[in-house]
Structure 1
């Protein structure tokens, strides 16, 4: 989560003005929870409560109020109180005696980093998706009890402070909303590092041996990321917890929070999750520094009523994405060859995207409220206008690291500097302060060139030259033909799905999303593999004469195939000793 909170270390449970929550799961089979809240010692005549519209770590609107119903309120004496609805997200309660007891039903059936899921296997709770709150009482301490009488084997995994039994507390609303919680029959591992406890709770089918192996990888990640910054953050209450839910009916996701991260996947460890889930662990833990404490000023404080917008996600999310696979190779979890191979998809996506014609990395970051798990029904043209700030920033982080290494410096030390200047002090940074910090570290001319070319503009670094310095080769050797649009078999036949990318063969031929391809060079596409079979007969430079159907009318289009623009990145086995040494210094364990 991206919030600044206060009163954290105050012994607040002696405070009389505590908002108390109770959640129980009598009808878990129907994905419902019963929630009761007490707001005591109220000064105003009316109390307004609401559901959040956003979630810490996300940038879009989610409208959690849609899953709340059966709302009732009583006074401290038990009298029924009048409830009105001033807007779709709020409930206004009048006529109380200084206390409001609120009760409602929540429907929840999506396990990821944004939503909640309640069923007979667990209660996976993202707090903003679960609990109403009173904005005017945001500085009050919070106490929450998870009633598990229906499921006596369930235990609680959360960054909230444990008080007793299944009762936990938060110093204020911000910390409460930032504390995802998994209530289930989960397994737990822990280790100590620098006087703090790192916990890992795992809910899902696994063997002891699988969990032990996975946990060793987690420990390696924590150690390698600590080495980047030189120290762990000071976690509140001296603990950090990974909350993993690897169930077939979970949705893949990862979401960072101040002292925890939520990890969800439909792949259990024994079914591919061992390899495929570990990258999310690396990404989210790096956020314990970069985003949670090294935090953009335009994300402070976090807004639970509107979408949050920042122009710095290329650094906050993108540089974190750069360090994700780098952590894995440094930790011995993947090989150098696998690391180099893994660069291919991200590099080609960024390099070949027409989106750089429209937006630089700052403006790509501004798109987050529209793409970060946002929901809409109208079509968009993101194939041509958008590059994920995760991917874009990752490639810019890679370039910056390799550029600095040519100067005898490196990105690790720059991140240490940012940590000391901003993160450790929890002082928010701006785009200008990042620019100034790079100038301080690498020189004004270096910083001016990097920011003017690649951040304020959307030019691309000389990756071929940079890769050569660390014994990585990048080449465009494929002779495969390139079409420029995705064609999929549907019930209607072979259809172009998604907008053709600008300036590709399909785009130049004026093909469009939804076009049904009937024939290629006079051959009808009748079998399930006929598009692939026909396409495989051709090479770059060949002409595909297509008969297509659009809006119920048949028409002809000619497409001149081009050479596949994708590059291949790999370890250069013939690199010189200097480059091999530089590669080792870059990728070896720290």
Structure 2
């Protein structure tokens, strides 16, 4: 094989992987090698080359000069014999996007550790994973095996560089369990300390996987599938790959043997698994033309991320219901929380979904204190737009067509043939296909939902399914939405998100048009006293609750003392009534048979 990689946990205490790249037939004018600047599925230039701490090359036992061309590329001097490049990579990123190495585990995505060979990216790549000094470690990866030992260390084979970097690798003393879904072997690996009920987890994931495979149609687009999971004290995230996913979760979210119910944390974890698994079809194979192929050296712009992340976010929780893992009301509570999260951001009135997709490189993955006022999530609002599309299609066709049909058509025309054709969806093709498949004129809805910031017609569409819409103020800072039997008493608000600080209350976000903004307060300010009394987060809540009791218009202003950096200042803040931005949904207790039948058709699929 003309391209060979070898990776070794070299200096665990220093978090260094040693990588060796052998190129049998280097470019005659001087071989260029380069590292990706971003990883597919996470749309931000992360500049992985910054973690290469040393690099050198040799050929036939003689050192070869390397010239750095730019931030992530090197060129070797011309040689006639095979070229060997050796380098060390610092690996201490605990996320699902990078590389990590310590005494407990090693993990890497190929985008963080494997230099590409310019001009030979389409060539097959061999990979040797060398054991660490820890003899309890095993290897878990979806890379095709060539020759490995009982622990999984040894030789693997990738079709090309794109294939090589799309199979993350876990090395640790992990626990694992296997199951079959629609005839396909699946494996769950959990690294980190945990007390998970693995048989329960396998049983539940099997239902999700079988539903999604049947949803798109057999055969599945992979021969086997791997859930790589890291359990930590506090963490959450996932990243999709062609035959696996890398996940991180709170260890307390995993199910335990004595827990019969689907607790909220476990429900969230199952939703994460469902989301990343759905990506096996929607974005890994059905993908925008802008990503076919990826250019990992720079931003790849598309206005279609709402269709890939938003629609996947719509189906992730819906699949839990359709797989029989949660109840109808539990699903409506999750949907309520998604609506609530969008309603609470002023950015929904500023940025539309197409712009959110296009600007993800500079906005969504680079959020700051003003982000709630300036952007909308193509995940959450994209999911709500997907709901609107689904319900509009169902309503217009008397439940004969749905978004399900659109997704299956996308799979048939683009996804199932992608490996052969490499064809992605052009920016206008998604809308055209949806209208062709359903026979419904959706042009006005696309204009409204994608290219404007006008409210989505969610309430009316849900009412047609006999779902009651409850709109109220948040009961507390922990209230994420959902149906409540009795709404709390009206509350006053400063229009901020805050956190405890050693001196008082630190403002994390100051919302557009809120009381704090109107008074001149800003994110980063620390409130130290209100009406002459020292303030903490709990005291602030109590003060606002007291002020709301029997309050008359106009509401009395509060004298606030605060620090901005090291400067003390004072201002008058007039609290506002808390926004009715918390949504709850439930089926109408007084059932309308026709509407209830349509609702069940939607939820069951």
TM-based fold match above 0.5? yes
- Residues 474 and 567 in structure 1, CA contact (< 8 A), matched pair in contact too: no
Task: Note the 1:480-559 alignment, pairs <5 A.
Answer: 480-498=491-509, 500-520=510-530, 522-526=531-535, 529-539=538-548, 542-549=555-562, 551=564, 552-559=567-574
Deviations 1:514-540 (A, max 9, x none): 3333443x2412456321221111327
Q: 1:486 to 1:352 in 2, by over 3 A?
A: closer
Task: Note the 1:139-538 alignment, pairs <5 A.
Answer: 139-148=122-131, 150-165=133-148, 166-206=154-194, 210-235=197-222, 238-248=223-233, 251-267=235-251, 269=254, 274-371=266-363, 373-374=365-366, 381-407=370-396, 408=399, 409-426=401-418, 427-443=423-439, 446-478=441-473, 479-498=490-509, 500-520=510-530, 522-526=531-535, 529-538=538-547
Cα displacement (A) at 1:195: 4.3
Alignment partners' CA distance in 1, 2:536 and 2:515: 24
Provide the secondary structure at the position in 2 that maps to 1:367: helix
Q: 1:482 to 1:460 in 2, by over 3 A?
A: same
Give structure 2 stretches of 5+ with no counterpart.
Answer: 149-153, 257-262, 474-489
Alignment partners' CA distance in 1, 2:437 and 2:56: 58
Alignment partners' CA distance in 2, 1:198 and 1:258: 13
- Residues 38 and 46 in structure 2, CA contact (< 8 A), matched pair in contact too: yes
Cα displacement (A) at 1:327: 1.0
Alignment partners' CA distance in 2, 1:473 and 1:430: 38
- Residues 157 and 181 in structure 1, CA contact (< 8 A), matched pair in contact too: yes
Provide the secondary structure at the position in 2 that maps to 1:536: helix
Cα displacement (A) at 1:251: 4.7
Alignment partners' CA distance in 2, 1:103 and 1:251: 34
Cα displacement (A) at 1:102: 1.4
In the alignment, what sits opposite 1:4?
none
Deviations 1:15-45 (A, max 9, x none): x4x2111111242233222211111112323
Alignment partners' CA distance in 1, 2:437 and 2:343: 28
Alignment partners' CA distance in 1, 2:166 and 2:344: 37
Deviations 1:327-352 (A, max 9, x none): 11222222222211122332123234
TM-score computed with the length of structure 2 as normaliser: 0.87
Alignment partners' CA distance in 2, 1:244 and 1:553: 47
Alignment partners' CA distance in 2, 1:129 and 1:266: 24
Alignment partners' CA distance in 1, 2:417 and 2:305: 20
- Residues 233 and 424 in structure 1, CA contact (< 8 A), matched pair in contact too: no
Q: Which has the higher contact order (CA 8 A, sep 6+)?
A: 1
- Count residues with an aligned counterpart: 562
Cα displacement (A) at 1:194: 4.2
Deviations 1:488-534 (A, max 9, x none): 32123223222x222233333333223333443x2412456321221
In the alignment, what sits opposite 1:137?
120
Give structure 1 stretches of 5+ with no counterpart.
Answer: 1-15
Alignment partners' CA distance in 2, 1:527 and 1:381: 23
Alignment partners' CA distance in 2, 1:441 and 1:534: 57
Cα displacement (A) at 1:145: 0.7
Cα displacement (A) at 1:306: 0.9
- Residues 57 and 256 in structure 1, CA contact (< 8 A), matched pair in contact too: yes
Provide the secondary structure at the position in 2 that maps to 1:476: strand
Kindly report the root-mean-square deviation, in angstroms, between the aligned alpha carbons of the 2 structures: 2.3
Alignment partners' CA distance in 1, 2:578 and 2:71: 53
- Residues 288 and 304 in structure 2, CA contact (< 8 A), matched pair in contact too: yes
Whether 1:568 aligns to 2:583 is yes
Cα displacement (A) at 1:153: 3.3
Cα displacement (A) at 1:149: 5.1
In the alignment, what sits opposite 1:110?
93
Alignment partners' CA distance in 1, 2:109 and 2:131: 17
Cα displacement (A) at 1:383: 1.7
In the alignment, what sits opposite 1:25?
9
Provide the secondary structure at the position in 2 that maps to 1:25: strand
Q: 1:80 to 1:339 in 2, by over 3 A?
A: same
Q: 1:489 to 1:247 in 2, by over 3 A?
A: closer
Deviations 1:333-387 (A, max 9, x none): 2222221112233212323433233321100111211245458xxx563121101
Deviations 1:63-88 (A, max 9, x none): 1112112322110x211111222223
Alignment partners' CA distance in 2, 1:283 and 1:461: 23
Provide the secondary structure at the position in 1 that maps to 2:63: coil
- Residues 312 and 431 in structure 1, CA contact (< 8 A), matched pair in contact too: yes
Alignment partners' CA distance in 2, 1:85 and 1:347: 49
Alignment partners' CA distance in 2, 1:221 and 1:372: 29
Alignment partners' CA distance in 2, 1:370 and 1:448: 29
Q: 1:228 to 1:270 in 2, by over 3 A?
A: closer
Cα displacement (A) at 1:395: 0.7
